[in-house]
Structure 1
């Protein structure tokens, strides 16, 4: 009798031993293929909608069948969202619902800020944006190296503002004399600027071709004066 009871308990026990999985059917083998795919789509969209931060592929894999392609599922969900004011985007190593840029003004008018947008990034000065860009491309990088790039001292206050905004963090100690701290961008940086990974940063060559960045000027410390000149010129013609 005890052996029979043990056999019944063992039947259906998940391989990883988590009791909660016994009550959750990931595979949905009882459904026809189209209905199964639809249910997986609904589960994935509901999970992402309910999350306060990007949901990883690993998390989504817990709610769909083992043979299910997360990427194909996301593609089908995004196709259904065409024409809607929000989309499902890959950002910071996961997936998240974000409103489309075309509706930023309407959201800002309603709430005073672009909810779900770049609130912290919008508060940055031009100099802070340029320093943040330099950290993103050349991390890990020290404050001294940043100062050399820009031809002027990068203050601790500027670094502190970027840290306070959660956009950068301390990286490994530099192997240079004194072992100063280096700085790296964070997951919040990816979220704020809508990047999935740092590989999504525009190529330096592409920025140069577009006239937005000159590697030679950056290394020579000429970027900030050039930007200030452009800003003054914009003011004259506005």
Structure 2
């Protein structure tokens, strides 16, 4: 039986390498972490694999340049970075790869409800009814939950304290947003009929 040995200390600084090779190794470490992760990796996690005074942003920039001409790229979403296939290759992937479970497969109305939740969250089913003028089908809400695009928010501060809906990190990832601040201009969506303001309720 092999003796228990302490794991070797992780060398972040790589001081024994020449500067150019050191930088290249840090880039490769970030590439490996992003490749292995199925969710966005925040800056503070990437900083654990490079030198203490090294700029993760600059390494990401250089790695992005290094990946030019490849089928995938680094994108900043949901407060971190991840690899994504370039849009130009989407038809090839749909034609040859089994990615059915990864596709959103949402109808226009599903997207409209999702957009309403994104802009008005936390929002209850009654709030969605006010926006669309009809009850929102539970199956539709279930589809958004199943794809982890929405979650349960705080209870609404009114009689019955109904649950509310909020968007998730997966929503940001699915639509390539770094944060909710990156949502398209609301007026443009309203002009397209996707999102409308809830009716104003009088105080009387």
What's the TM-score once normalised by structure 2's chain length?
A: 0.86
Structure showing greater Rg: 1
- Runs of 4+ aligned residues of structure 1 deviating over 3 Å after TM superposition are 112-115, 205-208, 217-220
Structure number with higher relative contact order (C-alpha < 8 Å, ≥ 6 residues apart): 2
User: Could you give the per-residue CA deviations for residues 129-150 of structure 1, whole angstroms, max 9, x where no partner exists?
Assistant: 1000100111000000000011
State the partner residue of 2:110. Answer: 128
Residue 32 of structure 1 is matched in structure 2 by 18
Structure 2 residue ranges without an equivalent (≥5): 1-5, 200-204
- In 2, the alpha carbon distance for the partners of 1:66 and 1:207 equals 44
1:137 to 97, 119, 134: 119
Q: In 1, distance between residues paired with 2:26 and 2:112?
A: 43
CA distance in 1, matches of 2:50, 2:99: 36
Contact 1:204 1:213 survives alignment (8 Å): no
Q: In the alignment, which residue of structure 2 is the partner of 1:69?
A: 55
Q: Is the Cα–Cα contact under 8 Å of residues 150 and 167 in structure 2 kept in the other structure?
A: yes
Q: Which residue number corresponds to residue 183 of structure 2?
A: 201
Q: 1:107 aligns with which of 73, 81, 93?
A: 93
Q: Unpaired segments of 5 or more residues in structure 1?
A: 1-18, 221-238
- In the alignment, the residues of structure 2 paired with residue 214 and residue 47 of structure 1 have an alpha-carbon distance, to the nearest angstrom, of 37
Which residue of 2 is the match for residue 85 of structure 1?
71
2: CA distance between counterparts of 1:147 and 1:80? 49
- C-alpha spacing 1:219/1:173, structure 2 compared with 1 (3 Å): closer
The CA deviation at 1:207 is 3.8
The number of aligned residues is: 194
Q: Quick check: 2:129–2:136 contact (8 Å CA) kept in 1? A: yes
Q: In structure 2, do the counterparts of structure 1 residues 105 and 114 end up closer, same or farther at CA, with 3 Å as the change threshold? A: farther
Q: Identify if the C-alpha distance between structure 1 residues 33 and 107 changes in structure 2 by more than 3 Å, giving closer, same or farther.
A: same
Q: Structure 2: how far apart are the matches of 1:94 and 1:202? A: 20
One of 34, 52, 65 as aligned partner of 1:48: 34
